Amino acid sequence: MAILKTVESKFFQTEIPYKPMGKYVHFLTIRITESYPLFQTDAELNKARVRAGVKDKTTISRLSMFKRKQSTPERLVGRELLRNYGLMTAEECEYNVNFAMDNPDCIIYGFAIGDSGSEKSKVVVDTAFSITAFDESHETFTLNAPYENGTMASKGENGSKPGEVTSRINQQDHIRPQVFFPSIVTLKDPTEASFLYVFNNILRTRHYGAQTTRTGRVRNELIGVVFADGEITSNLRWTQTIYDQMKSNNTINPPDPLDEDDVITAAKNAIEALMADEFIVHTDFIGDAFVSLINEVKTLTGSEKGIQAILQKADAEAKDYAKKHISKKKTTAKAGKE
Amino acid sequence: MVFIYHCQIELHDSLYYATREIGRLYETEPIIHNYALCYALGLVDSQIYSTTVAEEHSYRYFCPEQVPKYEEHLTPLNQQEIYVTPARSLNHCSILNTWKYANNNYHVEMEKTQKNIPSFGRAKEIAAESRFEFFVISQKELKLPKWIRLGKWMSKAEVTVEPLPKPKIAEGIFTCTHPLNPLDVMFTNQVISYDVVNMPPVSLIQNVKMQGQYYQFDGIQNLKIPVRIEYRFRS
């Protein structure tokens, strides 16, 4: 029985197929930093040199948010919920350590275990690029680690000399608040439950980037979903089109942060223009058409009954899929281990 | 009637695959193997292109083992007379990235893995907006997807396709400036000299001087593509 009323059931698979069947749903999100997150690998923020816009061909450095830095926190949110509602235990499935291979997280987001096989992810996320250039989107902070009294001067702790100033000091670049990352999350062959599972994960994830800093607050502003029979435009092209629009409207005024309303308007216009160029079959829920859908989803995921129903359905589908297509291999793989 | 398409790829994300592994450094060579392109373009096991493969070899979400099935997957393309050449870079930049597996814990600790699989490493990737070109030779008209995904991270890339004018067939000694898969040409053409680009599963060759029949095009100098290329796995 269908859970959603605002989306026709023809956009969904009735069960998780074992082969790609060419149904796609694309979640269009703008990821907005609300604090000072860190996306870095080699002690330096990730950035990419690309053209500013499609029309404006000057190259600029943009901050970038790698795919896994987006999908991992979203996966972990879903896993947390599965455990909370008793559909998975920490012992039977541990992320990147020991995948149980039969729950929604494993089946929808995929796994790879050397000798037990691999499940391809049905969720594909691409690197997201900031609309504004790197120079105006980051700040350098000095970090210190003060003593108990809150100062950097020693009172003689741990045999140090009283009055000595500690050298526990460091510098670190952070991404500023109100930096915007347009990002499309693609889900292949969605069932209604897997669509809602991924949708909920995107809506609920609040922190991205380095976990130890406690500063990675990011809000996902969903501006629409597109059901299609193939891939749609890239994050880069979308970002560049938004940039062109905002530039021609004079709404990019560094060093001021971008205005969120301007960004959302430009993002909607840009994606509508880009979707008009695609030569695939697609049904777009953007703007007014999206309001009733997101409200319905939020009502569902906002109640214990609603979220439980989604998780249970997703879990049942994953178990069903695993039983049909994985379980035989799994037992042989297990038997092969020492 | 033969259709030859000149295709360009523009990367919209950084591209990574391990052409070679040097300890924990994984290097991406700016050349895309033609086997990889066939999969990326959706030509393998497709109803649209009439290349469906036997059920036991079919492309699935779950792979019980990591064994490639190039022969089973690409032979139907030969039957449909569709051939994709490797892609070479038109312009590209490289970037270095460090990757690691995330884990579920609230603290960070590098644990020993039981298996000999690295949990972190550095990858030399090809940067976004780099461009590649390749050719598709087909006996039927083809409609290729506009957006494809490439490499280990499934990076999005845009494909633009331009049909070339009707080719003429000439014969003799010629130089193919475009990289080729040696297995696919050396049984029908005599390969005289070449440079090797080392990469698994089949190293490619470029700057190939060879003897045999080739396609050439009015108004496009220097573009010579050997005739009768097809996927070959055993002699």
pLDDT digit string (tens) for A236-290? 999 999 999 999 999 999 989 999 999 999 999 999 999 999 999 999 999 899 9
pLDDT tops 60 at residue A46 = yes
Using the CB atoms, write b or e for B77-114: b if 16+ within 10 Å: beebebbbbbbbbeebbebebebeebbeeeeeeeeeee
Q: Would you state the pLDDT for residue B30? A: 95
Q: Measure A251 CA to nearest chain B CA, in Å.
A: 25
The secondary structure of A188-228, three-state, reads ECCEHHHHHHHHHHHHHCCECCCCCCCCCEEEEEEEEEEEE
Residues A125 and A183 in one domain: yes
pLDDT exceeds cutoff 70 at B114: no
Mean pLDDT of chain A, nearest integer: 90
Looking at the structure, tell me whether residues A99 and A125 fall in a common domain: yes
Domain around A303: 9-137+177-321
Closest by CA to A257, choosing from A71, A147, A133, is A133
| CB-based contact A19 B59, cutoff 8 Å | yes
Question: Same domain for A71 and A40?
Answer: yes
pLDDT of residue A38: 87
- The answer to whether position A276 is within a domain reads yes
The residue of chain A nearest to residue B107, with distances taken between CA atoms, is: A212
- Nearest residue to A224 via CA among A289, A269, A275, A179: A289
Domain boundaries, given as residue ranges, for chain B: 3-102+112-226
Residue A329 resides in a domain: no
Same domain, A68 and A169: no
Pick the CATH number of B3-102+112-226 from 2.60.220, 2.60.40, 3.30.70, 3.40.50: 3.30.70
pLDDT band at A112 (very low <50, low <70, confident <90, very high): confident
CA–CA min distance A329, chain B (Å): 6
**Same domain for A158 and A258?**
no
Q: CA of A94: which chain B residue's CA is closest?
A: B104
What is the model's pLDDT at position A328? 58
How far apart are the CA of B109 and the nearest CA of chain A, in angstroms?
12
pTM confidence score: 0.91
Residue A23 lies in a domain: yes
- The closest CB to that of B128, out of A48, A233, A278, belongs to A48
Q: How many domains does chain A have?
A: 2
- Domain stop point among A115, A148, A175: A175
Cβ-count burial A169-200 (b if 16+ within 10 Å, e if not) = eeebbbbbbbbbbbbbbbbbbbbbbbbbbbbb
pLDDT at res. A160 = 78
A60 and A183 fall within a common domain: yes
Domain shared by A130 and A237, yes or no? yes
3-state secondary structure of A183: strand
For position A338, what pLDDT does the model report?
34
Task: Please name the residues between 206 and 235 in chain B that touch chain A, using a CB distance below 8 Å.
Answer: none
What letter does residue A34 receive in the DSSP assignment? S
Beta carbons of A119 and B62 less than 8 Å apart: yes
CA distance readout (Å), A254 to A51, A82, A152, A176, A242: 18, 43, 35, 13, 16
The total of other beta-carbon atoms located within 10 Å of residue A91's CB is 8
Bond preceding residue A20 cis, omega within 30 of 0: no
End-to-end CA distance of chain B: 27
User: Nearest CA to A12 among B138, B2, A2, A152?
Assistant: A2
Question: Do A24 and A72 belong together in one domain?
Answer: yes
Give the mean pLDDT of A39-63: 91
Question: In chain B, which residue's Cα lies nearest the Cα of A327?
Answer: B64
CB contact under 8 A, B127 and A127: no
SS3 call for A329: helix
What pLDDT is recorded for position A332? 45
Q: Model confidence over A151-208: pLDDT tens digits? A: 888 887 777 788 888 777 788 888 999 999 999 999 999 999 999 999 999 999 999 9
State both tokens at A329. 């291999």
Three-point CA angle A120, A13, A7, nearest 5°: 120
What local confidence, expressed as pLDDT, does residue A336 receive?
40
Q: How confident is the model at residue A212 (pLDDT cuts 50, 70, 90)?
A: low
Tens digit of each residue's pLDDT (9 = 90 or more) over B128-161: 999 999 999 999 999 999 999 999 889 999 999 9
Do both A43 and A157 map to the same domain?
Answer: no
In a domain, A337, yes or no: no
Question: Is residue A150 within 8 angstroms of chain B, CB to CB?
Answer: no
Is A248 inside a domain boundary? Answer: yes
> For B60-89, what is the mean pLDDT?
93
Are both A54 and A197 inside the same structural domain?
yes
Q: Are residues A107 and A162 in the same domain?
A: no
Classify residue B154 by its DSSP letter: T
